[in-house]
Amino acid sequence: MSRLNNLSNRIVPPSQLRENWTATISDHVIDLAWSPDGKYIAAASVLGPVTIFEGHRQAVIHAFEGHEFGTMSIAWHPDSKVLASAGQDGKIRLWDMTSGKATHSLDGGAAWVEHLAWSGGKNPILASAAGRKLKLWNDVGDLVREFSDHQSTISDIQWKPHARQLASIAYSGVTLWDPQQSEAVRRLEWQGSSLVIAWSPDGKHIATGDQDSTVHFWIMSTGEDLQMSGYPTKVLELSWDATSRYLATGGGQEVTVWDCSGRGPAGTKPITLSGHQDFLSVVRFQHHGKLLASGCAEGLVYVWQLRGRISSRVVHEAALKAGVTSLVWSPNDQFIAVGDESGGVSVFSIS
């Protein structure tokens, strides 16, 4: 019996991820975004500049100055022809990929514009969050709507997948907004500080990572919430798999994966993936596949194959020279782009 076990659990050493190319930008990669058409990778430096690389080879297409005092986030228009950026100059800029110029500079409404999100569908809408201000813009820079101020600083925003509904989080819960209405359409109250939000791809759940080392799991049909605690640190890393069954979370050195099928994760034991020796900085499922990538402050990138509690394992790995700050899958799930603390941007291929 023990022999059989040994055989079936034989450790297959992970393969090294193949590096396609690597480059360096001015400082800490604060945000990284692969264009939806797969052609470009945008990398924002904490100092401000935003560099547009070609996705599959080391070539700089554009070097945007970004934002004075620092860029906070970037987001691709669904058509991949425009990149939106936000920063500590209080501005949102729309950069035209053809001309390489900023076509619009918009006022976010506070000193730091921290979050951006494009809706899908026809005539996409850009949502921006700056302090307590939540604004909506069309892709030619017109203000579509400015919602009433939040009670505290907005910590994250995300559009519901395949829908025109926006979720924002701040201290004291989740708020849902409809671009057609000035008032919030729904409030999910919780007296605590949520830091990051993730809609499940099927739109049935919202997960939040929280300051007090918990993960909240909201069931949208009932408005019920579950709280998962036991994390060593605040939780800033969340990712759903394509099927909406698994929610991967960071909040420490182990990746914790909750199975949200059936009655949800309440009372269940999650899958824990151990291996990182430092705090996780990112966990991210493939867009369509089952592989899960994780990165940590020590600079290690693991790609995990999820096979239940016992036999999940690292299938690929890579070691960077500095702590991982951001990681994105290419739209076709064949590549990952990784940004690090010293400005390194690297693209690895999975196959």
Show Cβ contacts of residue 88 under 8 Å, excluding neighbours closer than 6 positions.
67, 68, 69, 70, 71, 72, 111, 112, 113
Question: Is residue 340 part of the contact set for other proteins (CB under 8 A)?
Answer: no
Residue 56 or 234 with smaller CB distance to other proteins: 234
Q: What would the x/- binding string for other proteins be over residues 189 to 218, using CB under 8 A?
A: --xxx-----------------xx-x----
**The one among 24, 36, 107, 171 contacting other proteins by CB under 8 A:** 171
How many chain residues interact with other proteins (CB under 8 A)? 30
Question: Is residue 46 part of the contact set for other proteins (CB under 8 A)?
Answer: yes
Q: How far is the CB of 277 from other proteins (least distance, A)?
A: 15
Distance CA 55, CA 348 (A): 11
Candidate ranges 23-31, 54-62, 237-245, 304-312; the one touching other proteins (CB under 8 A)? 23-31
- Helix (H), strand (E) counts: the chain: 2, 31
Residue 207 or 291 with smaller CB distance to other proteins: 207
Question: Is residue 279 part of the contact set for other proteins (CB under 8 A)?
Answer: yes
Question: Is residue 47 part of the contact set for other proteins (CB under 8 A)?
Answer: yes
273: Cα within 13 Å, side-chain hemisphere: 31
Q: Which two structure tokens, joined as six digits, stand for 20?
A: 């396609």
Q: How far is the CB of 326 from other proteins (least distance, A)?
A: 11
Question: Is residue 233 part of the contact set for other proteins (CB under 8 A)?
Answer: yes
Residues in the chain: 351
CB of 303 within 8 A of CB of 317?
yes
DSSP string over 205-241: EEEEEETTS-EEEEETTTTEEEEE---SS----EEE-
Q: What angle do CA 128, 124, 45 make, to 5 degrees?
A: 45
Question: Is residue 70 part of the contact set for other proteins (CB under 8 A)?
Answer: yes
Residue 190 or 329 with smaller CB distance to other proteins: 190
Q: What secondary structure letter does DSSP report for 127? A: E
Candidate ranges 69-77, 181-189, 241-249, 331-339; the one touching other proteins (CB under 8 A)? 69-77
Question: Is residue 111 part of the contact set for other proteins (CB under 8 A)?
Answer: yes
